[in-house]
A and B are shown apart, each in its own frame.
Chain A
Amino acid sequence: MNRINKLFQEKKNIISIYYTAGYPNLGDTVAIAEELERSGADLLEIGFPYSDPVADGPVIQASSKAALDAGMTLELLFEQLKDLRKTVSIPVLLMGYVNPLLQYGVANFCKSCAEVGVDGCIVPDLPMAEYEELYAADFKAYDLTNIFLVTPQTAPERIQKIDGLSNGFIYLLSSSATTGQNLSVSEGTEAYFSRIADLKLKNPTMIGFGISSKETFDKACQYANGAIIGTAFVKSLKADDVSGSVKEFMKTFKP
C-alpha cells in the first residue's frame, strides 16, 4: 500500500503543510521536510514554482518568484530530492502548474517522482478530461496519486466523477478563492461541508485554503480527515533560522 493510503487508514486530524521548493533559501527544500516531520507534520506538499501562478495569493506568489530568481527548476528540485527517502518517511506530494510539467514531460515527471519517492501531485490547472485521456496511464504506471480540487461551486455529479478518478484524497477548498485568505466557517460553508459528507465519497478529504491557526485547523478537522496549511506556514519561514521557524510554527498545532 502506498504511503498516502496508509496515512489515511491510520490517522485522523491529519496536518499537511505546503511550502515552496527553494524558499526561503535555494537549498532549504529537504531540510524543511525533515524539520516538519520531526515537528509532527503528517503530509507534505512541496510546491514547484511557476512564473504565473494564477490560483495563488501574494504570499505564495512572492515565494515562487524568490525561488525562481534563486534558480529553482524542476530538474534541480528532483536533484535536491534524490536522498529524500533516507531521512523523510511521511508522504510527499509535489504541487505546481501544468506548464513546467509539460516542458519536463509528464511521463518523465512521473518517472522522476517515483525515483525519489514522491507519492503524487496536485496540478490545479490540469483539467480532469485531459488528465484522464492523456496522462492517467503515466500516473498509474508509476503508482502516483493525482489530487483533485473541489470548491463550494463544484456540482455534485462532478464531485462524484472526481471521486472516481482519485486514489488518495480529495482537496476541498474552503471557499472559492486564491490562497492566503482566512477561513470563516459561515452557514454556507458548513452546508457545503455537510453536502460533501452526505455524498459518501470513497476517498478521504482534506480541507485547504484559509487554514492559518489552531482554531481554523480544528474547525476543518470536524468536517474532513485533516487540513492543509500553506500561506501561514510560508509566511512564518525565516531565511536565517529555517529550522527554528519551522519548529516555532508547528508548536501551535502540535504542542
Chain B
Amino acid sequence: MNYFVNEKGYFGDFGGAYIPEMLYPNVEELRTRYLEIIADEGFQKEFHQLLKDYVGRPSPLYLAKRLSEKYGTNIFLKREDLNHTGAHKINNTIGQILMAERLGKKRIIAETGAGQHGVATATVCALRGLECVVYMGEIDIQRQAPNVARMKMLGATVVPATSGSKTLKDATNEAMRDWINNPIDTHYIIGSVVGPHPYPDMVATFQSIISEETKKQLLEQTGSDQPDYVLACVGGGSNAMGMFYHFINDENVKLIAIEAAGKGVDSGHSAATTALGKEGVLHGSRSILMQTEDGQVIEPYSVSAGLDYPGVGPQHAHLFKTHRGQYVSVTDDEALQAGLLLTQLEGIIPAIESAHALAYLEKMEFTGKENVVICLSGRGDKDMDTYMKYFGL
C-alpha cells in the first residue's frame, strides 16, 4: 500500500488540486518546483541550520516518568512545545519561507485560526524581511488578542475575515482570494497539511522532522526506533502528519489520531471530522469534511481553536480509509482534565490541542511494557484564559 502522494497529487482517493483557473499558475509553479528546491543541498543546509540555531531543534524526547507510572506503561513526550514560538508550526513556516525566497516571492500571506500559525509566519517574515499579511476570522481576532498583538509587533498586517462564519475556514477563503488577486509576487504559506497539491505533501515533508528526530531518540533511549503507539491530535493534521511520517511504513507501529469531539461527537458542537464527515472537496483538495447533505460546509466546534477545522488533510483521509491510522476523538472536558493532569504530574502546561492527544491515554489499555510516543505539539501559555475559566483558577 502506498500511503504517500502519487504522481497525480493524490493519496489514494484523496488530494488533487481543485482550484479555480486563477490559482492554477501559482500552484503549478509550486508543484513543478517544490521537490527540486527541497532536495537542493543549499536548501537543506539552510533549513536544518535554522531549525537548529533559531527554532532550537532537536526538540527533546522526554520519558514522562510520573505520567508513565499513572498509566502503567512507558510514555514519551515529543516536546514540540519547546520550539521557538511555542509549537510545531514553525517547522513548516521556516521551510516555506525558504521556498518562497527561492521562488522569488516578495510578499507572504497566511491564514490563522488561534493565531499560532499566524505568529509562526509573522516570525519568519520578520526574520527574512518579507512583507506579511495574515488573514484571521473576525471572531478569532476577538478571542485571541495576545496572538494578534504578537503578529502586529512582528510587523505583520492582520486582516479580519468578515465573510461566512468569520473563523478559520473563512480566513482560509480570504487568503485564497488574496492569492487569486496577487498571482505574481505572493506566496501563500498554508499552515496545515491541507490545500491543493503540493501543499499537503510539502507541509508534511517540513513537519516530518518531528518523526525523523523521534526515531533517532527512541533508538538511543530504548534500543529500538519503533514504538508500539504514536499519538497526536488532529485538526487539519500537520503535527500528526509530522509525528506519523517516518512511522507510516512501519506497519507494526500503531498510529492514533485524536480529533476534537467538542461537547460530544453527536452533540452538534463537534470537530470530529472523520466521525461526522463525508468525502468532498474543501480548500482545494478532495478529503473528508463536515458538510450538509447539500454539500455546504458545516462550521465545527472545539474548545481548542487549533482543532476546529471542518476537514482533515487528504493524507489523513487516506490513512483513515485504509485503516492504517486509528481516528478517535475526545471531548473538551476530557482534554482540559488531561491538560491539568500533565501540568500537575510533570510540570508541563500543554496547549489544549495537545491535551486532546494526552486525554486518549485514559481510553487505552496497557500491559506495562509498551513504548508510547505522544506529540506534545504546543505549550499552553496561549490557553491560560480557557484553563482559568474552566478550573476557576
- A positions within 8 Å CB-CB of B: 50-55, 57-58, 61, 65, 68, 73-75, 97-104, 124-127, 129-130, 148-151, 153-155, 158, 173, 176-178, 181
Q: Are B21 and A151 in contact (CB under 8 A)?
A: yes
In the complex, the answer to whether A130 meets B296 with C-beta atoms within 8 Å is no
Contact of B177 among A98, A100, A129, A178 (CB under 8 A): A178
**Partner among B19, B280, B284, B296 whose Cβ is within 8 Å of the Cβ of A102:** B280
Residues of B within 8 A of A178 (CB): 22, 177, 180-181
A51-B163 Cα distance, complex, nearest whole Å = 10
Show 15 residue pairs from A and B whose CB-CB distance is below 8 angstroms, ordered by the A residue: A52-B169, A52-B170, A54-B180, A61-B164, A65-B163, A125-B19, A125-B20, A151-B21, A151-B22, A153-B25, A154-B21, A155-B25, A178-B22, A178-B180, A178-B181
- Let me know if B163 and A99 touch, CB within 8 A: no
How far, in whole Å, are A73 and B164 apart by their CA atoms in the complex?
A: 17
Picked from A65, A99, A124, A154, the residue with its CB within 8 Å of the CB of B164 is: A65
> Do B173 and A52 touch across chains, with their CB atoms under 8 A apart?
yes
Contact, CB under 8 Å: A149 / B21 = yes
With A61-B163, A176-B183 as contacts: A50 and B20 at CB distance below 8 Å: no
Chain B residues whose CB sits within 8 angstroms of the CB of A103 once the complex forms: 278, 280, 291, 293-295
B16 at the interface (CB under 8 A from A): yes
Chain B residues near A102: list those with CB within 8 A.
Answer: 279-281, 295
Whether the Cβ atoms of B20 and A177 lie closer than 8 Å is no
Q: Of all chain B residues, which has the CB nearest A162? A: B21
- Given A52-B164, A54-B176, decide whether A99 and B21 contact each other with a Cβ distance below 8 A: no
Name which residue of chain A comes closest to B176, CB basis.
Answer: A54
B39-92 residues at the A interface, CB under 8 angstroms: none
Contacts of B176 in A (CB 8 A): 54
Main secondary structure of the interface of B (DSSP, over half): mixed
CB–CB A154/B280 < 8 A: no
Q: How far is the CA of A226 from the CA of B1 in the complex (A)?
A: 51
Q: How far is the CA of A176 from the CA of B278 in the complex (A)?
A: 32
Q: 4 closest pairs, A vs B, by CB? A: A103-B295, A100-B295, A124-B20, A149-B21
User: Which of chain A's residues has its CB closest to B162's CB?
Assistant: A58
Give bound CA distance, A102 to B164, whole Å: 21
Q: Given the interface contacts A103-B291, A153-B183, does A98 sit within 8 Å of B297 by beta carbon?
A: no
Q: How far is the CB of A205 from chain B (nearest CB, A)?
A: 14
Contact call A125/B22, Cβ cutoff below 8 A: no
A99 near B291: Cβ-Cβ < 8 Å? yes
Bound form: Cα–Cα A148–B283 in Å: 19
Q: Are B20 and A54 in contact (CB under 8 A)?
A: yes
Which of A68, A150, A155, A177 gathers the greatest number of chain B CB atoms within 10 Å? A177
B17 at the interface (CB under 8 A from A): yes
B24 close to A (CB within 8 Å): yes
Cβ B21 vs Cβ A98 within 8 A: no
Q: Do A125 and B280 contact each other (CB < 8 Å), given the known contacts A104-B295, A151-B22?
A: no
Residue B376 at the chain A interface, CB threshold 8 Å:
no
Q: Closest residue to A54 on the B side, CB-wise?
A: B176
Q: Say whether B18 faces chain A, with CB atoms less than 8 Å apart.
A: yes
- Which residue of chain A lies nearest to B278 when distances are taken between CB atoms in the complex? A103
- Residues on B with beta carbons closer than 8 Å to the beta carbon of A100: 294-296
Q: How far is the CB of B317 from chain A (nearest CB, A)?
A: 14
Counting CB contacts under 8 A, is B151 at the interface?
Answer: no
B276 to chain A, nearest CB (A): 15
Taken together as a complex, chains A and B put the C-alpha atoms of A75 and B293 apart, in Å, by: 10
Which residues of A have CB within 8 Å of B22? Answer: 55, 149, 151, 153, 173, 176-178
Kindly state whether residue B141 has any CB partner on chain A within 8 Å: no
In the complex, the chain B residue whose C-beta lies closest to that of A171 is B21
In the assembled complex, which residues on chain B have CB atoms less than 8 Å from the CB atom of A53? Answer: 173
Interface centre among A51, A99, A158, A173 (most CB of B within 10 A): A51
Within the complex, the shortest CB–CB distance from B378 to chain A, in Å, comes to 27
Q: Is B338 at the interface (CB under 8 A from chain A)?
A: no
Q: Is B282 part of the binding interface, using a Cβ–Cβ cutoff of 8 Å?
A: yes
